[in-house]
Structure 1
């Protein structure tokens, strides 16, 4: 199946056809297929450079170090995340890592004191994460995510391929367990995010991320006590022309 075939059948049908055809392909082979055959020159990896990011970034680096990698720099990341990003980029030799940042004017108008996360976390995510990524994704027909089914109840039924407007999202690690990720990172000799050993298995912006207690799911420390489980980049169609 070529990228031309994907376009012929429309987004949801395309995602379903891809799912049924490649459901048994291992993650590294699926990523190679997506980068080299399905969406050559038109796919990006979106990475948070978080707790599990090294595994997926390593797989991509083994296929093509020039694959675009998009990091949403919200301006409120942990310093450890920014340092880890730089370390991984150097270690893996990634040559096209792009930062997607919020508009300075929007921040000045809506969050000049950086407290929007407290009063309206959904809007904070919209202007700091969703809109910048929407702009950065212009020109791409597909993107690779690191989401995994075990991370939370809201991700338990994720498919390998899903439609997102005119794009297709590829979730190559959806069937992986926490042990699978740890084993891969260890066997590849990759560095771990420094916050992992301090009880942060899922790492987002500093104001909205807390350590996870024993027995909680991996994303329990995200927006704790807010009834919020996702930032929005996976719950809406990314459209740079819309008021997301």
Structure 2
């Protein structure tokens, strides 16, 4: 059963949400130029890429970047080519510093993220945060796929969040999961086939699993940690809001089964 058949159920006010999102993206392209999209290649970000195209944007008015951590699912990486084949965008792909990533694995092992929150966050910093800084350098605005429905930590997200150096624009804050999959269905938007296998939120392969009925959207991310730790740092406020504390204990490593073995 596909994610579309399961979830494609638009809200009664979906047309108004769509109009608002398109208007917000057009405004952002004008007021926060140079503008970029931070794409995780998840379903929300594929919707935003399509909305950018619908809003008349291309590489002359906005850019799109992807953080290839070196540990993504093959299904995720394959979407870069599919985007470039369909839309007028050339995707900028940022990789972690190869020496830093190799040194981390050599010192801490390939499963370091399971050992402690500190090591998991260090891995995220090397593979996501440092490349993100390079990707956002010189940009005045960035588009993200954050939705209030995704988690308690994101329940207060606003359309536009002014950060010290740029504006963070979240066109989908009011969209539901049903809205997302309705729009994907109507527009035949390409998406990660892992969504059809009950992966609502897809990150690095060792840190992502499928979820079961009734679980939170992000319960499949870093599932061995406590609930307050479900962010990598990309969407944590500069003042530390939502920054997780070290949990009292982790599950024994023997009980943690990575989704797929990935080489650094």
TM-score range, shorter chain: 0.7 to 0.9
The answer to whether 1:223 aligns with 2:222 is yes
Q: Aligned pair in 2 of structure 1 residues 57, 159: CA closer, same or farther (>3 Å)? A: same
Instruction: Supply the distance in 2 between the matched residues of 1:34 and 1:148 (Cα, whole angstroms).
Output: 18
Within a 5 Å distance, the mapping from 1:31-42 to structure 2 comes to 31-35=25-29, 37-40=30-33, 42=34
**Unmatched segments (≥5 aa) in structure 1:** 1-22, 238-244
Within a 5 Å distance, the mapping from 1:1-244 to structure 2 comes to 26-35=20-29, 37-40=30-33, 42-62=34-54, 63-66=56-59, 67-95=62-90, 97-112=91-106, 113-119=109-115, 120-227=119-226, 228-237=229-238
Instruction: Supply the distance in 1 between the matched residues of 2:153 and 2:22 (Cα, whole angstroms).
Output: 25
Describe the superposition over 1:159-198 as per-residue Cα deviations: whole angstroms up to 9, x where unpaired.
Answer: 1111222211001100101111111111112122100110
Q: Aligned pair in 2 of structure 1 residues 208, 34: CA closer, same or farther (>3 Å)? A: same
Secondary structure of the equivalent of 1:61? Answer: helix
Match of 1:242 in 2: none
Q: Do 1:43 and 1:143's aligned partners in 2 also have CA atoms closer than 8 Å?
A: yes
Q: RMSD of aligned C-alpha atoms?
A: 1.8
Describe the superposition over 1:53-82 as per-residue Cα deviations: whole angstroms up to 9, x where unpaired.
Answer: 221010112322212111011000000001
TM-score (norm 2): 0.76
Instruction: Supply the distance in 2 between the matched residues of 1:225 and 1:165 (Cα, whole angstroms).
Output: 33
- How many residue pairs align between the two structures? 212
Q: Do 1:147 and 1:173's aligned partners in 2 also have CA atoms closer than 8 Å?
A: yes
Q: Do 1:142 and 1:168's aligned partners in 2 also have CA atoms closer than 8 Å?
A: yes
Q: Do 1:51 and 1:203's aligned partners in 2 also have CA atoms closer than 8 Å?
A: no
**Unmatched segments (≥5 aa) in structure 2:** 1-16, 239-264
TM-score (norm 1): 0.82
Match of 2:252 in 1: none
